Structure 1
Amino acid sequence: MDFVSEAIVLQARKHGETSAIMENFTRERGRHNGLVRGGAGRRMRPLLQPGNIVEVEWRGRLEDHLGYFTVEIVDALAGLFMEDRLSLAALNAIAALLREMLPEKQPLPDLYDVTKIVLERLDDQAVWPALYVRWESLLLQSLGYGLDLSRCAGTGVTDNLTHVSPRSGRAVSTDAAQPYLDKLFRLPPFLRGEPIASPQDIADGLRLTGHFLETRVQWERNRTLPDARRVMVARLQATGLAAD
Protein backbone atom coordinates (compact mmCIF):
# COMPACT_ATOMS: atom_id res chain seq x y z
CA MET A 1 0.00 0.00 0.00
CA ASP A 2 1.31 3.46 -0.82
CA PHE A 3 0.13 6.88 -1.94
CA VAL A 4 1.48 10.32 -2.80
CA SER A 5 -0.42 13.47 -1.82
CA GLU A 6 -0.03 17.13 -1.01
CA ALA A 7 -0.63 17.69 2.69
CA ILE A 8 -0.86 20.29 5.44
CA VAL A 9 1.26 19.43 8.49
CA LEU A 10 -0.85 19.40 11.66
CA GLN A 11 1.62 18.08 14.22
CA ALA A 12 4.85 16.14 14.64
CA ARG A 13 5.71 14.25 17.84
CA LYS A 14 9.15 12.87 18.61
CA HIS A 15 9.29 9.09 18.47
CA GLY A 16 12.40 7.34 19.72
CA GLU A 17 15.77 9.01 19.38
CA THR A 18 15.58 10.48 15.89
CA SER A 19 12.16 9.83 14.34
CA ALA A 20 8.82 11.64 14.56
CA ILE A 21 5.20 10.67 14.08
CA MET A 22 3.69 13.24 11.74
CA GLU A 23 -0.03 13.93 11.64
CA ASN A 24 -1.20 15.76 8.56
CA PHE A 25 -4.24 16.61 6.48
CA THR A 26 -3.69 15.10 3.06
CA ARG A 27 -5.72 16.16 0.08
CA GLU A 28 -6.12 12.60 -1.18
CA ARG A 29 -6.54 10.61 2.05
CA GLY A 30 -7.75 13.08 4.69
CA ARG A 31 -6.16 13.14 8.14
CA HIS A 32 -3.34 10.62 8.14
CA ASN A 33 -0.45 9.68 10.44
CA GLY A 34 2.92 8.18 9.62
CA LEU A 35 6.46 7.79 10.92
CA VAL A 36 9.15 10.10 9.52
CA ARG A 37 12.64 8.70 9.91
CA GLY A 38 14.95 11.47 11.04
CA GLY A 39 11.94 13.69 11.75
CA ALA A 40 13.37 14.82 15.08
CA GLY A 41 16.65 15.88 13.51
CA ARG A 42 17.83 19.41 12.72
CA ARG A 43 17.29 19.03 8.97
CA MET A 44 13.75 17.67 9.10
CA ARG A 45 12.29 19.53 12.10
CA PRO A 46 11.64 22.80 10.18
CA LEU A 47 9.75 20.88 7.49
CA LEU A 48 7.38 19.29 10.00
CA GLN A 49 6.06 22.52 11.54
CA PRO A 50 2.24 22.87 11.67
CA GLY A 51 0.93 24.86 8.72
CA ASN A 52 3.61 23.88 6.23
CA ILE A 53 2.44 22.56 2.87
CA VAL A 54 4.34 19.42 1.96
CA GLU A 55 4.26 16.55 -0.49
CA VAL A 56 4.21 13.21 1.27
CA GLU A 57 4.68 9.65 0.10
CA TRP A 58 3.24 7.09 2.49
CA ARG A 59 4.28 3.45 2.45
CA GLY A 60 2.91 0.62 4.52
CA ARG A 61 2.20 -3.04 4.06
CA LEU A 62 -1.44 -2.65 5.14
CA GLU A 63 -3.69 0.42 5.14
CA ASP A 64 -4.29 0.23 8.89
CA HIS A 65 -0.55 0.19 9.67
CA LEU A 66 1.17 3.37 10.87
CA GLY A 67 3.49 3.25 7.86
CA TYR A 68 6.26 5.64 6.86
CA PHE A 69 6.24 9.09 5.30
CA THR A 70 8.87 10.67 3.13
CA VAL A 71 8.41 14.44 3.04
CA GLU A 72 9.29 17.23 0.63
CA ILE A 73 8.49 20.87 1.31
CA VAL A 74 6.08 22.66 -1.03
CA ASP A 75 5.47 25.92 0.86
CA ALA A 76 7.09 26.71 4.22
CA LEU A 77 4.22 28.82 5.53
CA ALA A 78 4.94 28.20 9.22
CA GLY A 79 8.16 30.20 9.10
CA LEU A 80 6.37 33.25 7.69
CA PHE A 81 4.22 33.66 10.79
CA MET A 82 6.64 32.94 13.62
CA GLU A 83 7.05 36.67 14.32
CA ASP A 84 3.34 37.50 13.90
CA ARG A 85 1.52 36.41 17.06
CA LEU A 86 -1.93 36.91 15.56
CA SER A 87 -1.35 34.95 12.36
CA LEU A 88 0.46 32.24 14.33
CA ALA A 89 -2.54 31.99 16.66
CA ALA A 90 -4.84 31.48 13.65
CA LEU A 91 -2.52 28.82 12.20
CA ASN A 92 -2.45 27.01 15.55
CA ALA A 93 -6.26 27.18 15.83
CA ILE A 94 -6.72 25.68 12.36
CA ALA A 95 -4.27 22.87 13.07
CA ALA A 96 -5.86 22.10 16.44
CA LEU A 97 -9.40 21.97 15.07
CA LEU A 98 -8.36 19.69 12.22
CA ARG A 99 -6.45 17.38 14.56
CA GLU A 100 -9.37 17.05 16.95
CA MET A 101 -12.30 16.98 14.54
CA LEU A 102 -11.34 15.31 11.29
CA PRO A 103 -12.05 11.60 10.98
CA GLU A 104 -9.03 9.54 10.00
CA LYS A 105 -8.44 8.69 6.35
CA GLN A 106 -11.60 10.33 5.00
CA PRO A 107 -10.87 12.44 1.89
CA LEU A 108 -12.23 16.00 2.13
CA PRO A 109 -10.64 17.71 -0.89
CA ASP A 110 -12.88 20.81 -0.82
CA LEU A 111 -12.06 21.45 2.83
CA TYR A 112 -8.38 20.86 2.07
CA ASP A 113 -8.38 23.41 -0.76
CA VAL A 114 -10.10 26.09 1.33
CA THR A 115 -7.82 25.41 4.32
CA LYS A 116 -4.82 25.97 2.08
CA ILE A 117 -6.30 29.26 0.80
CA VAL A 118 -6.85 30.51 4.36
CA LEU A 119 -3.31 29.56 5.43
CA GLU A 120 -1.84 31.35 2.41
CA ARG A 121 -3.67 34.57 3.36
CA LEU A 122 -2.85 34.75 7.04
CA ASP A 123 -0.48 37.62 6.30
CA ASP A 124 -3.41 39.88 5.35
CA GLN A 125 -5.32 40.98 8.45
CA ALA A 126 -7.91 42.78 6.33
CA VAL A 127 -8.94 39.47 4.77
CA TRP A 128 -8.25 36.42 6.86
CA PRO A 129 -10.60 36.86 9.88
CA ALA A 130 -13.67 36.66 7.63
CA LEU A 131 -12.09 33.83 5.63
CA TYR A 132 -11.45 32.00 8.87
CA VAL A 133 -15.11 32.21 9.95
CA ARG A 134 -16.19 30.92 6.54
CA TRP A 135 -13.66 28.13 6.94
CA GLU A 136 -15.20 27.08 10.26
CA SER A 137 -18.61 27.06 8.56
CA LEU A 138 -17.21 24.79 5.84
CA LEU A 139 -15.64 22.56 8.51
CA LEU A 140 -19.09 22.11 10.05
CA GLN A 141 -20.54 21.29 6.64
CA SER A 142 -17.76 18.81 5.87
CA LEU A 143 -18.43 17.00 9.16
CA GLY A 144 -22.16 16.74 8.42
CA TYR A 145 -23.35 19.64 10.58
CA GLY A 146 -23.70 22.41 8.00
CA LEU A 147 -25.68 25.54 8.78
CA ASP A 148 -28.74 26.21 6.62
CA LEU A 149 -28.58 29.93 5.82
CA SER A 150 -30.65 29.76 2.62
CA ARG A 151 -34.13 30.52 3.97
CA CYS A 152 -36.02 31.34 7.16
CA ALA A 153 -36.74 28.33 9.35
CA GLY A 154 -40.12 29.77 10.36
CA THR A 155 -41.51 31.43 7.25
CA GLY A 156 -39.47 30.07 4.33
CA VAL A 157 -38.56 33.54 3.03
CA THR A 158 -35.11 33.98 1.53
CA ASP A 159 -34.47 37.67 2.27
CA ASN A 160 -33.87 39.69 5.43
CA LEU A 161 -32.21 36.74 7.14
CA THR A 162 -30.57 38.20 10.22
CA HIS A 163 -30.38 35.48 12.88
CA VAL A 164 -29.70 31.77 13.36
CA SER A 165 -31.44 29.29 15.64
CA PRO A 166 -29.00 27.76 18.19
CA ARG A 167 -30.95 24.49 18.05
CA SER A 168 -31.46 23.86 14.35
CA GLY A 169 -28.64 25.89 12.79
CA ARG A 170 -31.18 27.39 10.38
CA ALA A 171 -31.53 31.05 9.46
CA VAL A 172 -34.34 33.23 10.82
CA SER A 173 -35.73 36.36 9.17
CA THR A 174 -35.95 39.75 10.90
CA ASP A 175 -39.71 39.54 11.49
CA ALA A 176 -39.68 35.96 12.72
CA ALA A 177 -36.76 36.67 15.03
CA GLN A 178 -38.33 39.54 16.95
CA PRO A 179 -39.92 37.53 19.80
CA TYR A 180 -36.73 35.47 20.33
CA LEU A 181 -33.88 37.94 19.92
CA ASP A 182 -32.33 37.03 23.28
CA LYS A 183 -32.17 33.35 22.28
CA LEU A 184 -30.88 33.62 18.70
CA PHE A 185 -27.44 34.16 17.21
CA ARG A 186 -26.95 37.17 14.98
CA LEU A 187 -26.17 36.14 11.39
CA PRO A 188 -23.30 38.33 10.11
CA PRO A 189 -24.05 39.54 6.56
CA PHE A 190 -20.70 38.35 5.18
CA LEU A 191 -21.83 34.74 5.72
CA ARG A 192 -24.64 35.53 3.29
CA GLY A 193 -22.30 36.93 0.66
CA GLU A 194 -21.82 40.57 1.69
CA PRO A 195 -18.25 41.70 0.89
CA ILE A 196 -17.51 43.69 4.06
CA ALA A 197 -17.12 42.29 7.58
CA SER A 198 -16.92 44.61 10.59
CA PRO A 199 -15.26 43.64 13.90
CA GLN A 200 -18.75 43.01 15.28
CA ASP A 201 -19.52 40.74 12.32
CA ILE A 202 -16.32 38.76 12.94
CA ALA A 203 -17.20 38.37 16.62
CA ASP A 204 -20.74 37.28 15.77
CA GLY A 205 -19.46 34.81 13.19
CA LEU A 206 -16.97 33.25 15.61
CA ARG A 207 -19.67 32.98 18.26
CA LEU A 208 -22.01 31.29 15.78
CA THR A 209 -19.61 28.73 14.34
CA GLY A 210 -17.96 28.13 17.70
CA HIS A 211 -21.33 27.23 19.26
CA PHE A 212 -22.03 24.54 16.68
CA LEU A 213 -18.48 23.19 16.62
CA GLU A 214 -18.71 22.74 20.36
CA THR A 215 -22.29 21.46 20.69
CA ARG A 216 -22.44 19.31 17.54
CA VAL A 217 -18.88 18.06 17.09
CA GLN A 218 -17.02 18.29 20.38
CA TRP A 219 -20.00 17.32 22.54
CA GLU A 220 -19.87 13.80 21.08
CA ARG A 221 -16.23 13.56 22.22
CA ASN A 222 -16.92 15.12 25.64
CA ARG A 223 -14.57 17.99 24.78
CA THR A 224 -14.70 21.76 24.57
CA LEU A 225 -13.10 23.80 21.79
CA PRO A 226 -9.28 23.68 21.70
CA ASP A 227 -7.38 26.25 23.74
CA ALA A 228 -5.65 27.38 20.54
CA ARG A 229 -8.96 28.70 19.22
CA ARG A 230 -9.64 30.66 22.42
CA VAL A 231 -6.16 32.22 22.17
CA MET A 232 -6.85 33.27 18.58
CA VAL A 233 -10.21 34.85 19.49
CA ALA A 234 -8.63 36.73 22.40
CA ARG A 235 -5.88 38.11 20.14
CA LEU A 236 -8.41 39.16 17.50
CA GLN A 237 -10.27 41.06 20.21
CA ALA A 238 -7.08 42.60 21.59
CA THR A 239 -6.14 43.96 18.15
CA GLY A 240 -9.67 45.27 17.46
CA LEU A 241 -10.30 42.90 14.54
CA ALA A 242 -13.14 41.28 16.49
CA ALA A 243 -15.45 43.02 18.94
CA ASP A 244 -15.32 41.98 22.60
Structure 2
Amino acid sequence: MEWRDEGIILATRKHGETSAILEVMTRSRGRHLGLVRGGLSRRMRPFLQPGNKVDLLWRARLDEHLGSFQVEPLEQNAARLFDSAVSVYGLQVLAAHLRLLPERDPHIRLYETLGIIIAHLDDADVVGALLARFEVAVLDELGFGLDLTRCGATGSSDDLIYVSPKTGRAISGEAGSAWADRLFGLPPFLRVGSALGGDAAAIHDAFRLTGHFLARHVYEPRGIEAPEARASFLAALTKALNRPVSKEHTSV
Protein backbone atom coordinates (compact mmCIF):
# COMPACT_ATOMS: atom_id res chain seq x y z
CA MET A 1 0.00 0.00 0.00
CA GLU A 2 1.23 3.51 -0.76
CA TRP A 3 0.02 7.01 -1.47
CA ARG A 4 1.47 10.49 -1.96
CA ASP A 5 0.00 13.70 -0.56
CA GLU A 6 0.99 17.04 0.90
CA GLY A 7 0.58 17.75 4.59
CA ILE A 8 1.23 20.17 7.43
CA ILE A 9 3.17 18.85 10.41
CA LEU A 10 1.31 18.93 13.72
CA ALA A 11 3.80 17.16 15.97
CA THR A 12 6.90 14.97 16.02
CA ARG A 13 7.91 12.54 18.74
CA LYS A 14 11.01 10.42 19.20
CA HIS A 15 10.87 6.74 18.28
CA GLY A 16 13.91 4.68 19.19
CA GLU A 17 17.37 6.17 18.86
CA THR A 18 17.19 7.70 15.38
CA SER A 19 13.60 7.65 14.11
CA ALA A 20 10.53 9.83 14.69
CA ILE A 21 6.79 9.41 14.50
CA LEU A 22 5.30 12.25 12.48
CA GLU A 23 1.74 13.51 12.94
CA VAL A 24 0.49 15.46 9.94
CA MET A 25 -2.73 16.92 8.63
CA THR A 26 -2.87 15.89 4.98
CA ARG A 27 -4.91 17.47 2.23
CA SER A 28 -6.93 14.41 1.21
CA ARG A 29 -6.36 11.79 3.93
CA GLY A 30 -6.96 13.74 7.11
CA ARG A 31 -4.80 13.51 10.19
CA HIS A 32 -2.28 10.75 9.69
CA LEU A 33 0.72 9.30 11.55
CA GLY A 34 3.78 7.57 10.13
CA LEU A 35 7.31 6.56 11.00
CA VAL A 36 10.18 8.59 9.60
CA ARG A 37 13.40 6.59 9.69
CA GLY A 38 16.34 8.83 10.51
CA GLY A 39 13.91 11.58 11.50
CA LEU A 40 16.14 12.68 14.38
CA SER A 41 19.14 13.26 12.13
CA ARG A 42 20.73 16.68 11.83
CA ARG A 43 19.63 16.86 8.19
CA MET A 44 15.97 16.01 8.73
CA ARG A 45 15.21 17.54 12.11
CA PRO A 46 14.89 21.17 10.88
CA PHE A 47 12.05 20.43 8.44
CA LEU A 48 10.21 17.92 10.67
CA GLN A 49 8.91 20.77 12.84
CA PRO A 50 5.27 21.76 13.56
CA GLY A 51 3.90 24.24 11.05
CA ASN A 52 6.07 23.10 8.15
CA LYS A 53 4.42 21.95 4.93
CA VAL A 54 5.84 18.77 3.41
CA ASP A 55 5.44 16.34 0.57
CA LEU A 56 4.69 12.83 1.87
CA LEU A 57 5.05 9.35 0.46
CA TRP A 58 3.42 6.80 2.78
CA ARG A 59 4.04 3.07 2.55
CA ALA A 60 2.75 0.11 4.58
CA ARG A 61 2.04 -3.56 4.05
CA LEU A 62 -1.59 -3.12 5.17
CA ASP A 63 -3.74 0.00 5.27
CA GLU A 64 -4.33 -0.26 9.04
CA HIS A 65 -0.58 -0.30 9.82
CA LEU A 66 1.28 2.78 11.08
CA GLY A 67 3.41 2.76 7.94
CA SER A 68 6.41 4.90 7.10
CA PHE A 69 6.79 8.34 5.56
CA GLN A 70 9.33 9.62 3.10
CA VAL A 71 9.30 13.38 3.59
CA GLU A 72 10.46 16.32 1.48
CA PRO A 73 10.08 19.97 2.57
CA LEU A 74 7.72 22.31 0.73
CA GLU A 75 7.34 25.30 3.08
CA GLN A 76 9.51 25.81 6.15
CA ASN A 77 7.41 27.98 8.46
CA ALA A 78 8.66 26.79 11.84
CA ALA A 79 11.66 29.12 12.11
CA ARG A 80 9.39 32.13 11.53
CA LEU A 81 6.76 30.97 14.03
CA PHE A 82 8.86 29.78 16.95
CA ASP A 83 9.90 33.33 17.87
CA SER A 84 6.33 34.23 18.89
CA ALA A 85 4.39 32.91 21.90
CA VAL A 86 1.16 33.59 19.99
CA SER A 87 2.35 31.39 17.13
CA VAL A 88 3.66 28.56 19.32
CA TYR A 89 0.49 28.32 21.39
CA GLY A 90 -1.64 28.81 18.29
CA LEU A 91 0.00 25.80 16.62
CA GLN A 92 -0.67 23.71 19.73
CA VAL A 93 -4.33 24.74 19.77
CA LEU A 94 -4.76 23.91 16.08
CA ALA A 95 -3.22 20.47 16.59
CA ALA A 96 -5.39 19.79 19.65
CA HIS A 97 -8.56 20.67 17.73
CA LEU A 98 -7.61 18.45 14.80
CA ARG A 99 -7.10 15.55 17.21
CA LEU A 100 -10.80 15.77 18.05
CA LEU A 101 -11.48 14.40 14.57
CA PRO A 102 -11.17 10.71 13.69
CA GLU A 103 -7.73 9.80 12.40
CA ARG A 104 -7.48 9.37 8.61
CA ASP A 105 -10.85 11.04 7.93
CA PRO A 106 -10.46 13.63 5.15
CA HIS A 107 -11.35 17.22 6.02
CA ILE A 108 -10.16 19.24 3.05
CA ARG A 109 -11.81 22.48 4.20
CA LEU A 110 -10.00 22.31 7.53
CA TYR A 111 -6.72 21.54 5.79
CA GLU A 112 -7.05 24.61 3.56
CA THR A 113 -8.01 26.77 6.55
CA LEU A 114 -5.06 25.42 8.54
CA GLY A 115 -2.69 26.58 5.81
CA ILE A 116 -4.22 30.07 5.81
CA ILE A 117 -3.93 30.37 9.59
CA ILE A 118 -0.30 29.22 9.63
CA ALA A 119 0.51 31.90 7.05
CA HIS A 120 -0.88 34.50 9.50
CA LEU A 121 0.01 32.98 12.87
CA ASP A 122 2.52 35.74 13.57
CA ASP A 123 0.02 38.51 12.71
CA ALA A 124 -1.70 39.36 16.00
CA ASP A 125 -4.23 41.61 14.27
CA VAL A 126 -5.94 38.74 12.43
CA VAL A 127 -4.88 35.42 13.96
CA GLY A 128 -7.39 35.57 16.81
CA ALA A 129 -10.29 35.93 14.41
CA LEU A 130 -8.90 33.20 12.17
CA LEU A 131 -8.48 30.71 15.00
CA ALA A 132 -11.96 31.47 16.37
CA ARG A 133 -13.37 30.81 12.89
CA PHE A 134 -11.38 27.56 12.87
CA GLU A 135 -13.12 26.49 16.08
CA VAL A 136 -16.49 27.20 14.49
CA ALA A 137 -15.43 25.09 11.49
CA VAL A 138 -14.30 22.21 13.76
CA LEU A 139 -17.69 22.24 15.50
CA ASP A 140 -19.34 22.10 12.10
CA GLU A 141 -17.16 19.17 10.95
CA LEU A 142 -18.04 17.31 14.16
CA GLY A 143 -21.76 17.78 13.49
CA PHE A 144 -22.41 20.61 15.96
CA GLY A 145 -22.43 23.58 13.61
CA LEU A 146 -23.58 27.00 14.75
CA ASP A 147 -26.16 28.91 12.70
CA LEU A 148 -24.82 32.44 12.51
CA THR A 149 -26.54 33.49 9.28
CA ARG A 150 -30.11 34.25 10.41
CA CYS A 151 -31.89 35.23 13.61
CA GLY A 152 -33.25 32.15 15.38
CA ALA A 153 -36.28 34.13 16.55
CA THR A 154 -37.26 36.18 13.47
CA GLY A 155 -35.42 34.63 10.53
CA SER A 156 -33.88 37.98 9.67
CA SER A 157 -30.24 38.26 8.60
CA ASP A 158 -29.94 41.85 9.84
CA ASP A 159 -28.49 43.19 13.09
CA LEU A 160 -27.18 39.83 14.32
CA ILE A 161 -25.32 40.65 17.53
CA TYR A 162 -26.10 37.75 19.88
CA VAL A 163 -25.94 33.94 19.95
CA SER A 164 -28.21 31.71 22.01
CA PRO A 165 -26.21 29.47 24.39
CA LYS A 166 -28.94 26.84 24.07
CA THR A 167 -29.44 26.59 20.32
CA GLY A 168 -26.21 28.00 18.86
CA ARG A 169 -28.28 30.25 16.60
CA ALA A 170 -27.73 33.95 16.01
CA ILE A 171 -30.17 36.42 17.54
CA SER A 172 -30.86 39.95 16.33
CA GLY A 173 -30.47 42.98 18.58
CA GLU A 174 -34.21 43.63 18.67
CA ALA A 175 -35.20 40.02 19.38
CA GLY A 176 -32.53 39.50 22.03
CA SER A 177 -32.56 42.84 23.85
CA ALA A 178 -34.70 41.57 26.73
CA TRP A 179 -32.32 38.63 27.34
CA ALA A 180 -29.02 40.29 26.46
CA ASP A 181 -27.42 39.28 29.77
CA ARG A 182 -28.13 35.59 29.02
CA LEU A 183 -26.83 35.59 25.45
CA PHE A 184 -23.35 35.47 23.98
CA GLY A 185 -22.12 38.43 22.00
CA LEU A 186 -21.55 37.70 18.32
CA PRO A 187 -18.33 39.34 17.07
CA PRO A 188 -18.79 40.55 13.48
CA PHE A 189 -15.78 38.59 12.21
CA LEU A 190 -17.52 35.26 12.92
CA ARG A 191 -20.18 35.96 10.33
CA VAL A 192 -19.60 34.56 6.84
CA GLY A 193 -18.17 37.19 4.51
CA SER A 194 -17.23 39.59 7.30
CA ALA A 195 -13.82 41.22 7.55
CA LEU A 196 -11.19 39.80 9.87
CA GLY A 197 -9.82 41.58 12.89
CA GLY A 198 -11.10 42.71 16.25
CA ASP A 199 -9.91 44.10 19.55
CA ALA A 200 -9.06 41.97 22.58
CA ALA A 201 -12.62 42.16 23.93
CA ALA A 202 -14.12 40.88 20.67
CA ILE A 203 -11.58 38.06 20.50
CA HIS A 204 -12.44 36.96 24.04
CA ASP A 205 -16.16 37.11 23.21
CA ALA A 206 -15.54 34.82 20.24
CA PHE A 207 -13.52 32.28 22.24
CA ARG A 208 -16.04 32.35 25.09
CA LEU A 209 -18.73 31.50 22.54
CA THR A 210 -16.86 28.69 20.80
CA GLY A 211 -15.49 27.39 24.11
CA HIS A 212 -19.03 26.99 25.46
CA PHE A 213 -20.11 24.79 22.56
CA LEU A 214 -16.85 22.83 22.45
CA ALA A 215 -17.30 22.06 26.15
CA ARG A 216 -20.96 21.09 25.80
CA HIS A 217 -20.71 18.98 22.66
CA VAL A 218 -17.14 17.68 22.69
CA TYR A 219 -15.10 18.00 25.89
CA GLU A 220 -17.73 17.07 28.47
CA PRO A 221 -19.20 14.08 26.56
CA ARG A 222 -15.67 12.73 25.99
CA GLY A 223 -14.56 13.40 29.56
CA ILE A 224 -11.65 15.62 28.50
CA GLU A 225 -10.52 19.16 29.25
CA ALA A 226 -9.96 22.05 26.89
CA PRO A 227 -6.30 22.19 25.80
CA GLU A 228 -4.17 24.27 28.17
CA ALA A 229 -2.59 25.94 25.15
CA ARG A 230 -5.92 27.61 24.39
CA ALA A 231 -5.80 29.81 27.51
CA SER A 232 -2.10 30.46 26.93
CA PHE A 233 -2.80 31.51 23.34
CA LEU A 234 -5.47 33.98 24.47
CA ALA A 235 -3.19 35.43 27.14
CA ALA A 236 -0.32 35.86 24.67
CA LEU A 237 -2.61 37.34 22.04
CA THR A 238 -4.17 39.80 24.50
CA LYS A 239 -0.70 40.94 25.50
CA ALA A 240 0.28 41.40 21.86
CA LEU A 241 -2.90 43.32 21.00
CA ASN A 242 -2.51 45.64 23.99
CA ARG A 243 1.18 46.30 23.41
CA PRO A 244 1.81 50.03 22.79
CA VAL A 245 2.84 50.90 19.27
CA SER A 246 6.04 52.94 19.17
CA LYS A 247 5.87 56.15 17.19
CA GLU A 248 8.75 57.48 15.18
CA HIS A 249 9.85 60.99 16.07
CA THR A 250 9.01 63.45 13.34
CA SER A 251 10.39 66.97 12.94
CA VAL A 252 7.99 69.89 12.76
Q: Which category of TM-score, normalised to the shorter sequence, fits these structures?
A: over 0.9
Alignment map for 1:121-140 (pairs within 5 Å): 121-140=120-139
Deviation of the 1:96 alpha carbon: 2.4
Unmatched 5+ stretches in structure 2: 244-252
What is the aligned partner in structure 1 of residue 97 from structure 2? 97
TM-score, L = length of structure 2: 0.90
CA–CA distance in structure 2, aligned partners of residues 236 and 197 of structure 1: 12
Determine helix, strand or coil for the equivalent of 1:62: coil
Alpha-carbon distance between aligned partners in 1 of 2:242 and 2:226, rounded to the nearest angstrom: 21
Match of 2:218 in 1: 217
> Aligned AA for 1:44?
M
Over the aligned positions, Cα root-mean-square deviation in angstroms equals 1.7
Q: Matches of 2:189 and 2:171 in 1, distance apart?
A: 16
| Contact residue 164 and residue 172 of structure 1 kept, 8 A | yes
Corresponding position of 2:205: 204
Q: Which residue of 1 aligns with 2:250?
A: none
Following TM superposition, by how much is the alpha carbon of 1:150 offset from its aligned partner in structure 2, in angstroms?
Answer: 1.3
Structure 1 residue 2 and structure 2 residue 5: aligned? no
Highest Rg: 1 or 2? 2
Whether the aligned pair in 2 keeps the contact of 1:86 and 1:236 (CA below 8 Å) is: yes
**Counterparts of residues 44-193 of structure 1 (less than 5 Å):** 44-98=44-98, 100-192=99-191, 193=193
Three-state SS of the structure 1 residue aligned to 2:206 is helix
Kindly indicate whether the alpha-carbon contact (under 8 Å) linking 1:202 and 1:241 is maintained by their aligned counterparts in 2: no
**CA–CA distance in structure 2, aligned partners of residues 240 and 215 of structure 1:** 29
Deviations 1:49-103 (A, max 9, x none): 11111111110111111111111111111111122222222122212222x3121
User: Percent identity, aligned pairs only?
Assistant: 48
- 5+ long unaligned stretches in structure 1: none
Distance 2:232 2:71 in 1: 30
- Return the offset for 1:146: 1.3
The CA deviation at 1:241 is 5.5
CA separation in 2, counterparts of 1:220 and 1:79? 37
In the TM superposition, 1:10-21 aligns within 5 A as 10-21=10-21
| Separation in 2, partners of 1:96, 1:241 | 26
* TM-score of the superposed pair, with normalisation by structure 1: 0.92
Q: Which amino acid aligns with 1:159?
A: D
